[in-house]
Structure formats: structure tokens, C-alpha cells
Amino acid sequence: MGCVKLVFFILCTFLCQLVFSSALPHLCPEDQAHALLQFKQMFTINPNASDYCRRSRTLSWNKSTDCCSWNGVRCDEMTRQVIELDLYCSGLQGKFHTNSSLFKLSNLKRLDLSYNDFSGSLISPKFGELSNLTHLNLSRSSFTGIIPAEISHISKLQVLHISTVDPYRLRLGPYNFELLLKNLTQLRQLDLDYVNISSTVPLNFSSYLTTLWLTRTQLRGILPERVFHLSNLEDLSLPYNSLTGPIPSNISGLQNLRYLYLTSNYLNGTIPSWIFSLPLLTYLNVRNNTFSGKIQEFKSKTLFYVILKQNQLEGPIPKSLLDQQYLQTLILSQNNFRGQIAPTVCNLKTLRVLDLGSNHLNGTIPHCLGEMSGLEVLGLNNNSLSGTINTTFNTENKLIIINFYGNKLKGKVPTSLINCRYLKFLDLGNNELNDTFPSWLGGLVDLQILSLRSNKLHGPIRDSRTDNLFAQIRVLDLSSNGFSGNLPVSFFENFQAMKIISEKSGTREYIANDYSGNYANTLIVTTKGLDQELPRVLTTEIIINLSGNRFEGYLPSIIGDLVGLRTLNLSHNGLEGVIPTSLQHLSILESLDLSSNKIGGEIPQQLVSLTFLAVLNLSHNHLVGCIPKGKQFDTFENSSYQGNDGLRGLPLSKDCGGDDGVPQATTAVELDDEEERELISWQAVLIGFGCGLVIGLSIIYIMLSTQCPVWFSRMVAKFEHIIDTRMKRYL
């Protein structure tokens, strides 16, 4: 009986303790809370970063609450030890000390410190002491220096992300990389984008690997076959390295691969057939290699992005590419594809980017392309397409970029382009279009780039008083056509975007930006008589090129209002008059070409203030006087001024005069026709007066020596009367 009572007592005691303990709050240990608060105090919160990402999770941390309830903190349900800390993009800013209190959280399994700003701190070797970690993310948090070998001690790691924004700010030597892979046998995801590895591709990857991201890591050598035998691999990204050789052909195990990104290496050979048979492939990008031969028909129906540009691929465009239900981006440019563009391309209902430029495609442009309601980028440039542009662009289209440059297109500029209300970039240059200037394009309120260069366009560009025509235009290229008449002053008045010097002049923001991450809105421009290719057009590239036409009349002074201009080319026309002094206001002008016109007068001294001017061509005009000195004008060579017989001063061989050999400052004056005729007549009078004075003095000497004062006095009186009459006419 006593034994039964004892058992009953023990059982009651246990139940009471269990009930009592369950009623108490499960608080995290005090040392854990203290470590977290101490870690928080080491950093300030960057409010801008918090706006970009989210409200900093550490703001809610305080002593009065259980640390297991803090944002970003997760504790073990039984032990209450902190096992997860997620501070992704929390605006933390400051030095991350190598002996941080964070390392006291020895039970951490997941740690995410990515997208913060630790101000060039080193990655502490103490991370290697967090031996329970399965997930570690230190990406894009401004760490620098060598990734410590101690990271390899975290043998339970399944996910490791230590990418950086600035290339090669972080380093991982070849030995450390091999050691890392040797010890981390459980690794599923490895992201070392932009880390300087400087190594060949190791062979000892974890067989569990699903994600391998090694963008721009200075990998070199042959791409090993071992990489393609990782049967669990879903995401393989090795772009912008120095990998060589072909892709292995006898591969059969990559049935889970969805993402293959090998851009900008030195890979060659044919693209193996197994790639076209991957059942789950959604993203294929092998741009900028030297792959050759034909590409086979795709058996996969899951493709979203296919980017094969900048290779040596040939043959017709595979029909299977035009039968993809989900395809959004198709970029095959800069290859050797031949044949016609099949109208079935319009069956790609989800397509946003179609770039077939720089191939050998022929035939006509499919009429239905203008009816693809989702298409934003249409690039067919640099092919052998012919016929008229009979595409009817409907009102539902979303086109932002249209590039037909460098074909054999004839006829008129299609008026249905006015329906492309989102259009920012239109290049119809280097074709055989025969039309007058399509001023109605000015009604496209977002149009920023218009190139109609090298066609057979003709006639005057008539002044239009309609407001807001071409208000957003930043690049206007009408060069090498047959346009005539005066320069369109009212159009210049409408160019509102050119009248502003952008506050982002130091940034690299692109016009009609890169919608696929791989399409570049290439544009050909002419500078210093040479055609140059802009691979992408910056918003700061503000250009007017009206060269190689038949424009005449004076240079309008209103050009000086276009203060955002970087390039102005009016060469090879019939322009006359003088150079407007208002050009001094183009303070960021980099290139000015007025060559091969009939421009007279002097070069305005005020142009010396154009300190950004790197290219100047005033050759083959009727300029006179002294070449300005100082600043950029001291850098221009003889070729900038040749063909102007009236110019003097350096760098020409003709001296500019002056007692000290320094050119005298002059100011060009803009004159109307009547004033110019009077100036010429007045100059003739002065020349005649000088000649008469010499002759008169000679006669005086002869008359006095022959003693004929009466005849002489009569002649002098008559001469004085003639001079007095002419002087009164011009005073």
C-alpha cells in the first residue's frame, strides 16, 4: 500500500510540474537576447535602404519583449535557442566586427544578412564556428577581401550565397574553392557571383547541387563534363568567364535543368542535341560565344527565353521556335541565319521581344507583326528584307522599339506607325524609302529616338506651329537624304527634352531600356565624318544630325536654346550666313560639325567657353578672321579649319597679326541681307579711298615738281567733292 502511495505521489508531482511549466512563458535565454541587442547597436539604419527593401526588422527589438517574438528571429520550440535570423535588406549600415556578438548564437541554422551595407568589412573567420548552419547568405552587403577558408568548416551547409555587386571585391583563391567544395558535401545551392575565383572549374561538386551561380568569377579553361553529370542540377549559370571548348555532347542525366546561362565565354562547336531535348528548359542563353552550325528543332514546350545572339549559327530559323506557347523573348541576332521570316512567328502570343537583326534573312516583313498585341521590341535590322513596309500597326500594339535599319525596304513610311503610342525608338535608316518628311510622327508623345538616315526622303521640312511635336525627342538623325529648304525653326522650338541638361548626366540610364536583359537598342551615329555604333543609347546622348542634305539659308540662333545637345552635325549642306553666337550656350556640346557649307564671317570668340567640345569641324566654308584661342580651341588640328582661305592663326600657318602676335579678340555679328550688302559697299569705299589717296599723293609730287599749281588745285577741288559726296551716303 505504501508503494502505491509513493507511485501516486510521484505521478502527481510530475503532472503538477508539467502543468506548471506549460503555463510559464517560453522565453529565449537572456544571453541570446543580449547578443542580439548588442549586435543591433553596432549598426545604424539606412532609411533609404529600408524604403527600397522593407522596414528594418531590428526596429522592433527591445528588452521588454521575448526575443523569440522579434521580427526576423525564430527560436527552437523546445529549447528556445535562436535558430534562425533573417535580416535580409534591413538597412543595416556600419562595420561588421570580426568578434561580433552574433557568433554567440551557436545554435543558428539559418542566417541571412544579405542586401545590407557593412561598409567594406571583412568576412570573419568566426562564421566557421557556426557549425549548425545549413543556410548562410552574405550576398551584396559590401563585404570585401578574402572569403575565409573557415567557411568550409560548416559541413552541414546546404545553401551558401556570398555574391557581390562590385566585380572581384571579394576573393576566393583556387585552393579555397576546392577545399570549400570538398568539405561542403551537402551543398544544394552555391552562389559566388562576381567573386574573384581565378580558377579552372573544379570537379568535386556536391552531387546534391541544384543551383550553381558563378557569374564573372574569372573561371578559365575547358568546361568539364562533370558539371553536366549533376543529375539534380536545375540552374547552371557560368556567364562572363573565360571558359573554352565545346559543350559535352553525350549527356543524358540533366532532366531537371531549367536555366542554362553560358553567355560571353569562348565556347565553340555545335550546340549539342541534348539541350534541345531538355523537358523542363525555360531559359537558354549562350550569347556571345563562337557556336556554329545549325540548331536543331526544340522538343521542349516550356521555353520562356531563347537568346542565341553573337554566334556563328546558320540555317533557317527552326520551326519549333515559332511554336512555343510561353515564349516571351526570342533573340537570334548577329548570326548567319538565312531564309524568310515565317508568318507563324505571329502565333507567339506571349512574345515581348523579337530580335532577328544582323543575319541574312530575306523576303518581306510579315504583315501580322503589327497585330501582336504583347510585342514591345521588334528588331529586324541589318538583313536583306525587301518590299514595302506593309505591316499595319493596330491601336492595341505595345511596341516601344522598332528597328528596321539596314535593309532594302522601299516605299513610304507607314502611316499606321502613329498607332504605336508607346514608341520610344524608331530606326528606319539605311533603306530605300522614298517619301517626304513624316512630320505626323511628332504626335508620338514618347518618341525619343528617330533615325531616317540614308534613304531617299526629300522635300522641305515644313515649319509646323503645332505644340508638343517631338517634345521628347533626344536623337534626330535625318542625314544623307534629299531634304531641302530652310532648317525647320519651329521644330527646334518644340524640342523640349533638348532644352534641359539632365540631372542624371553622370548616370548610365538607357533610352528605351533593355527589356529582356539582353536586347540593346543599337544606333548608328556620325561623328567627325565617321559612322559609329552606339550599342545602347543613353538618355544623355542628345544628338541632331541633318548632314548630307540640301538645306540652305542661315543657321537659326534658336539652336542655342537646345542646351542639352551633345552632338550637332549640319555638315554637307548649302547653309550660309554666320555662326550664331548663341551656340555658346551649348555648354555640354561634345561634337560640332558645320563643314562643307557656305558659312561666312568669323568664328565667334564666345565658343571658347564650350569646354566639353572634343570634336570641331568647320572646314570648307567661307570663314575669315582669327581662330579663337584658349581651352578646347588649343587642341584642335588643322583639319578642323582647312578650306577656309580667310582664316588665320594657330594651328594654321597664317599669322593672326597683332603687335605681340596674339590674335585680336573679335565678335561675330549676325547680319541681315541689307546690312550685309551695305557692309560690302562700305568696304569697297574704304578700299577705293585708300587707293585714291596713294594716287593723289603721287600726283601732288608730280605737279609740284613740274610747277603746275593751277591745274593741280582744280583737280584737288574736284577730288574733294567726290569724296565728300560718297562719305555722306554712308554716314
* Lowest mean pLDDT segment, chosen from 5-14, 87-96, 377-386, 711-720: 711-720
- Indicate whether 703 pLDDT > 70: no
pLDDT range class, residue 177, cuts 50, 70, 90:
confident
Domain 460-672 is of which CATH architecture?
Answer: Alpha-Beta Horseshoe (3.80)
Task: Break the chain into its structural domains and give their ranges.
Answer: 44-197, 460-672, 674-729
Q: Which of 122-136, 379-393, 534-548, 691-705 has the lowest mean pLDDT?
A: 691-705
Q: Is 672 helix (H, G, I), strand (E, B) or coil?
A: coil
| The pLDDT value given to residue 535 | 60
pLDDT at 168: 77
Going by pLDDT thresholds of 50, 70 and 90, the confidence category of residue 521 is low
Q: Which residue has better confidence, 622 or 51? A: 622
631 Cβ contact partners less than 8 Å away, ≥ 6 residues apart: 608, 609, 610, 611
Say what the pLDDT of residue 649 is.
Answer: 83
Tell me whether the omega of the peptide bond preceding residue 651 falls within 30 degrees of 0, making it cis: yes
Q: Which three three-digit cell numbers place residue 662?
A: 596674339
C-alpha–C-alpha distance, residues 573 and 646, integer Å: 20
* Structure confidence by residue, pLDDT tens digits, 419-451: 999 999 999 999 999 999 999 999 999 999 999
Q: Residue 510's pLDDT is what?
A: 52
Q: Output the pLDDT for position 336.
A: 97
| DSSP annotation string for 88-120 | TT--EES---TT-GGGG-TT-SEEE--S-B-TT
Buried b (16+ CB within 10 A) or exposed e, 329-351: bbbbbbbebeeebeeebbebeeb
Give residue 315's pLDDT: 95
Q: Which residue has the higher pLDDT, 120 or 411?
A: 411
Mean pLDDT, rounded, of the chain:
84
Average pLDDT over residues 685-704: 40
Give percent of the chain with pLDDT exceeding 90: 65
| Nearest to 311, CA basis, from 282, 334, 280, 341 | 334
Name the residue among 310, 161, 158, 144 with its Cα closest to residue 237: 161
| pLDDT cut 70: percent of the chain above it | 79
What is the model's pLDDT at position 51? 53
Give the mean pLDDT of 574-586. Answer: 96
Which of 476-480, 488-492, 535-539, 648-652 bottoms out in mean pLDDT, i.e. has the lowest? 535-539
Residue 694 pLDDT greater than 70, yes or no? no
Per-residue confidence (pLDDT) for residue 514, from 0 to 100: 47
Report which of 275, 271, 308 is spatially closest to residue 293, judged by C-alpha positions: 271
Superfamily of domain 44-197 in CATH is: Ribonuclease Inhibitor (3.80.10.10)
- pLDDT at residue 208 tops 80: yes
Residue 193 CB coordination number (10 Å) = 21
pLDDT grade for 659, boundaries at 50, 70 and 90? very low
Whether 695 has a pLDDT exceeding 60, the answer reads no
Report the candidate in 653, 677, 673, 575 with the shortest Cα–Cα distance to residue 620: 575
